[in-house]
């Protein structure tokens, strides 16, 4: 039983040791900036979605103005 526990702990330690290496090379970053990776290709639709989200969110101001979304300044 103790050997099984030690083997499980060793496997856990080895699997956790590989999680800290999340470096992305500069050559791989170009794929993240591709137009295909954009959720909203249409700028007008993105602007409308942002406007709706800003109006629904109570803590958001009027995009560039002070005050909350409740109307009190």
* Domain residue extents for the chain: 1-60
Contacts of 41 (CB under 8 A, 6+ apart): 35
* pLDDT tens by residue, 16-66: 776 666 777 778 777 777 777 777 778 888 888 888 887 777 655 555 555
Predicted pLDDT of residue 39: 73
Provide the pLDDT confidence category of residue 7 given band limits of 50, 70 and 90.
very high
Q: In angstroms, rounded to a whole number, what is the distance separating the alpha carbons of residues 45 and 53?
A: 12
Backbone phi, psi, residue 34, to 5°: -70, 150
Retrieve residue 66's tokens: 């002070």
Give the pLDDT score at 72. 60
């Amino acid at each position: 039983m103790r050997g099984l526990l030690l083997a499980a702990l060793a496997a856990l330690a080895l699997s956790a040791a590989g999680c800290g290496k999340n470096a992305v090379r500069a050559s791989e970053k170009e794929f993240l900036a591709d137009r295909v990776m954009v959720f909203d290709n249409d700028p007008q639709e993105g602007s409308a979605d942002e406007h709706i989200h800003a109006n629904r969110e109570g803590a958001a101001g009027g995009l560039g103005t002070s005050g909350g979304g409740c109307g009190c300044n």
